[in-house]
């Protein structure tokens, strides 16, 4: 059995994880997973086919049939042990995140800690899958409702926070008695394979968690439309999310879509500018801007715009771009050449059409320097489209009313933030901004395992989070017992 230990190499190959064992792909083909820092081979990974998707789903269905009546205490034990194993293997996962996806040290540790917290939160869910007793209008009728697990959950995860999402999209399905087939990003397969090893060691039954590696454009539809799949969880681009929704709609299949964002941060004249600058830097340059919640539109009242930009520029230029294992490094490499070209195209288009580059815009190897644009207009691609890189635009606004209007002028609706000392305006903003999440005097980037995480419009459909997941991954059943009427 080939073990996915996180020690990637171009020799050998990491096989699929199906039914609790490593199995070679039916294609006999493998692809190279590359380190984005230098594009050198990191691992040789199995390339799955639609036939492998079917094998994984069938294994998950078998595991569901065998384990659906396991005690909540069993599921709680698997997930609690998994959390403890993450503590033990923390460095393994940090190293994979650094070398496979170019995560800076701090971001990698954040993901590992989030995974631990998520597993512990999910372990608590196992005992909260409860029903109700219901008053009945029929004499002698005892009426109750129960929740039942659904079956096979298809989880499709991204490259940018692969450990966070792999755990988030698997732990609560397992806690609620379901089984999982995970199709991981082709740019982060070793993270998922190492997670499979950890779940196996934690006692998760064979077939309850399966990992498929390959290319989503070739095999994704085979998973999302498989007759045995009951729910599709997808994190990725709005374009692919809409495609998945179109496939699942006619099948009457539940979907949860966590998609892109063009997130607004509003800075009013009375704001704490130092706090706003720190939040803007974190929100946009964390993991080199490869985040759906990044603050790519910053609206600043004119009276403080110049000072905000001066401080923001200084902050951006101070961010570390050294060794990824140095805690002071903020900005690492962009994941792939395709994505690098997208970032370059957005910057060059803005410059060609008259935008001013306040700072950045140039590259060190595969890393783009933190980039701040001003003078961005509707004619520029970066104005409307998600860049998914360390590029943001600062726009002057006249007042609070313009801030609300500009914040809502987008098809996206994931996260928003406002900086002000006026609590009335802050709370009005939370009510009027059309996003799934909004933060006062805090960054647009925020996530916790138990909160209802998600957006509206082109940013997605449904919510993730251990509490709301109980509704997503279980089905209500009404049961009555007719008793004699005395």
- The secondary structure element, H or E, covering residue 57 is helix 50-67
Compute φ and ψ for 426, nearest 5 degrees.
-60, -45
The 10 Å Cβ neighbour count of residue 72 is 17
292 is catalytic: yes
Question: Are the beta carbons of 271 and 277 closer than 8 angstroms?
Answer: no
Find out whether 383 and 376 touch, Cβ atoms under 8 Å.
yes
Q: Which of 118, 248, 292, 368 is catalytic?
A: 292
Distance CA 185, CA 322 (A): 26
The answer to whether residues 267 and 421 touch, using CB atoms and an 8 Å cutoff, is no
Q: How far apart are CA 483 and CA 486, in angstroms?
A: 9
Check if 378 is active-site: no
Q: Nearest to residue 212, comparing CAs of 199, 196, 201, 228?
A: 196
Cα–chain center distance at 220? 17
Catalytic residue among 47, 111, 258, 301: 258
Check if the beta carbon of residue 2 is closer than 8 Å to that of residue 12: yes
Residue 301 to residue 267: CA distance in whole angstroms: 6
Nearest to 271 by CA among 403, 421, 416, 402: 421
Would residue 438 be called left, alpha or beta, if left means φ above 0 and alpha means ψ between -120 and 50 degrees?
A: beta
Which residues are catalytically annotated?
Answer: 258, 292
């Amino acid at each position: 059995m080939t073990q996915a230990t996180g020690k990637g190499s171009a020799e050998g190959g990491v096989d699929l994880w199906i039914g609790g064992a490593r199995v070679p792909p039916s294609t006999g083909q493998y692809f190279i997973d590359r380190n984005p820092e230098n594009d050198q081979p990191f691992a040789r990974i199995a390339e799955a086919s639609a036939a492998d998707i079917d094998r994984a789903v069938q294994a998950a269905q078998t595991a569901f049939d065998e384990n659906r009546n396991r005690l909540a205490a069993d599921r709680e034990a698997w997930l609690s042990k998994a959390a403890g194993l993450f503590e033990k293997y923390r460095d393994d996962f940090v190293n994979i995140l650094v070398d496979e996806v170019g995560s800076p040290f701090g971001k990698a540790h954040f993901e590992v800690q989030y995974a631990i917290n998520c597993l512990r939160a999910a372990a608590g869910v196992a005992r909260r899958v409860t029903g109700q007793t219901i008053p009945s209008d029929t004499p002698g009728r005892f009426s109750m409702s129960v929740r039942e697990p659904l079956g096979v959950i298809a989880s499709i995860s991204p490259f940018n926070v692969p450990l966070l999402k792999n755990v988030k999209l698997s732990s609560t399905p397992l806690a609620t008695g379901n089984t999982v087939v995970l199709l991981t990003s082709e740019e982060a397969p070793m993270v998922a394979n190492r997670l499979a090893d950890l779940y196996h060691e934690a006692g998760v039954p064979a077939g309850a968690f399966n990992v498929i590696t390959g290319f989503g454009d070739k095999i994704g539809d085979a998973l999302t439309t498989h007759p045995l799949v009951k729910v599709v969880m997808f994190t990725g681009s709005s374009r692919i999310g809409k495609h998945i929704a179109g496939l699942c709609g006619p099948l009457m299949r539940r979907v949860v879509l966590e998609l892109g964002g063009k997130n607004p941060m509003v800075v009013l004249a009375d704001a704490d500018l130092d706090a706003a600058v720190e939040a803007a830097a974190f929100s946009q340059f964390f993991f080199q801007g490869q985040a759906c919640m990044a603050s790519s539109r910053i609206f600043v009242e004119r009276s403080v715009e110049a000072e905000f930009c001066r401080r923001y520029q200084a902050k951006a230029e101070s961010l570390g771009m050294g060794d990824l294992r140095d805690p002071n490094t903020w900005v690492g490499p962009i994941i792939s050449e395709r994505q690098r070209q997208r970032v370059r195209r957005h910057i060059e288009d803005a410059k060609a059409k008259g935008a001013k580059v306040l700072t950045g815009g140039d590259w060190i190897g595969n890393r783009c320097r933190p980039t701040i644009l001003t003078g961005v207009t509707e004619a520029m691609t970066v104005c409307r489209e998600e860049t998914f890189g360390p590029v943001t635009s600062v726009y002057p606004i006249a007042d609070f009313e313009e801030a609300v209007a500009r914040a809502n002028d987008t098809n996206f609706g994931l996260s928003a933030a406002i900086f002000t000392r006026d609590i009335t305006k802050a709370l009005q903003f939370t009510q009027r901004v059309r996003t799934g999440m909004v933060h006062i005097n805090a960054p647009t980037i925020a996530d916790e395992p138990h909160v209802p995480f998600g957006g509206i419009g082109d940013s997605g459909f449904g919510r993730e989070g251990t509490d709301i997941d109980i509704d997503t991954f279980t089905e209500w059943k009404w049961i009555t017992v007719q008793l004699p009427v005395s």
